[in-house]
């Protein structure tokens, strides 16, 4: 073989080998870095841009796509110990011309974390209102979406700032009493009785605990490699002390039933989406909301757990779009007149 041709193959092979080796090294040695790169790439692929907004010296980190138009903007509030990128699986199935905003909740990811902040559900709702005013999202009423803890905050927000929103989607929201204890609540009781409350199932510190949390939150059984589990834990461990503090704040008497205490004040059309096999928050909460909110549309998803956004992203996106289309249909507008 011609030496020049051989050299070309060697150079080409070396060029290809470098990124492959880098990927393998990242996967084996720094899985948490790989997870961050994954979210960065996914945001770019979906056209989501990251920005910061400031209220005095308080920083909010958020991502957005599109611009306000004739359809309502959509603001999405994530759950406990998550971040704005958890919505990417749903963003994938939403129109690119729809104005979407996903914000890191107080103390999470790129949003300010302060020991002096009020992390009760009401306090978080107040912070989200500050964010909304910062980016002037409430120039026109917007559609608010929240899941789990974020659903609790979204419901309280709708009750406290009704002029800001035109409609509401609550996905497996926290903040409701339940006649049936979920698996998660039973685990908490057992830990409390054994005085091991520091081992909260939603705050994993090992790959094994992370695997258990995923099984608790999902009906669908995802096969997650050990290295990815390690990466997910590595990303979370620096924040676990904050998560424990936050968890104790949102389950105390001031916040535990915040949504239930405020749901009679929710006057906007409301959509409730819940996984039938939710092991974290019992699906019976959907009936409570339906009985208290006059214009409430309930959707129970079969073969789905607490992580509705991850397990059924296409279905969830379609339900939100169908709900918004219904609210702006001539028949519905005439009916409400």
Active site residues: 148, 278, 306
Query: Strand, helix or coil at 164?
Result: coil
Q: What is the distance between the alpha carbons of residues 68 and 93, in angstroms, rounded to a whole number?
A: 18
Q: What is the distance between the alpha carbons of residues 95 and 100, in angstroms, rounded to a whole number?
A: 10
Q: What is the distance between the alpha carbons of residues 156 and 244, in angstroms, rounded to a whole number?
A: 22
Q: What is the distance between the alpha carbons of residues 258 and 216, in angstroms, rounded to a whole number?
A: 24
Cβ contacts of residue 297 below 8 Å, gap of 6+?
A: 269, 270, 271, 272, 323, 326
Residue 159 contacts residue 262 (beta carbons within 8 Å): yes
Write out the H or E segment, with its range, that includes residue 64: strand 58-65
Q: What is the distance between the alpha carbons of residues 260 and 83, in angstroms, rounded to a whole number?
A: 25
The dihedral of CA 53, 55, 60, 62: what is its sign? negative
Cross-strand bridge partners of residue 61:
52
């Amino acid at each position: 073989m011609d030496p020049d041709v051989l050299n070309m193959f060697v150079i080409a092979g070396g060029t290809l080998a470098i990124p492959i080796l880098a990927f393998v090294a990242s996967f084996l040695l720094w899985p948490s870095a790989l997870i961050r790169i994954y979210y960065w790439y996914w945001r770019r692929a979906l056209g989501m841009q990251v920005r910061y907004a400031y209220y005095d010296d308080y920083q909010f980190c958020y991502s957005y796509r599109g611009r306000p138009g004739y359809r309502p903007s959509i603001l999405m509030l994530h759950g406990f110990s998550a971040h704005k990128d958890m919505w990417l699986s749903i963003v994938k199935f939403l129109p690119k011309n729809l104005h979407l905003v996903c914000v890191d909740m107080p103390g999470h990811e790129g949003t300010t974390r302060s020991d002096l902040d009020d992390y009760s559900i009401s306090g978080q709702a107040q912070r989200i209102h500050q964010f909304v005013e910062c980016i002037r999202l409430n120039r026109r009423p917007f559609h608010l979406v929240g899941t789990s803890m974020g659903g609790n905050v979204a419901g309280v927000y709708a009750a406290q700032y009704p002029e800001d929103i035109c409609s509401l989607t609550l996905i497996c929201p926290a903040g409701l009493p339940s006649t049936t204890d979920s698996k998660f609540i039973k685990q908490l009781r057992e830990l409390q009785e054994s005085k091991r409350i520091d081992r909260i199932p939603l705050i994993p510190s090992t790959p094994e605990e992370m695997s258990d949390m995923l099984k608790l939150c999902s009906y669908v059984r995802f096969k997650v490699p050990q290295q990815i589990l390690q990466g997910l834990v590595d990303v979370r461990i620096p924040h676990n002390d904050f998560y424990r503090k936050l968890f104790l704040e949102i389950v105390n008497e001031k916040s535990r039933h915040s949504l239930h205490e405020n749901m009679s004040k929710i006057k906007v059309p409301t959509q409730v989406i819940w996984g039938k096999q939710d092991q974290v928050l019992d699906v019976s909460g959907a009936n409570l909301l339906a009985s208290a909110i006059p214009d409430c549309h309930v959707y129970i998803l079969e073969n789905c757990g607490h992580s509705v956004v991850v397990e059924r992203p296409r279905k969830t996106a379609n339900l939100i779009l169908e709900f918004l289309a219904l609210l702006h249909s001539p028949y519905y507008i005439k009916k409400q007149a």
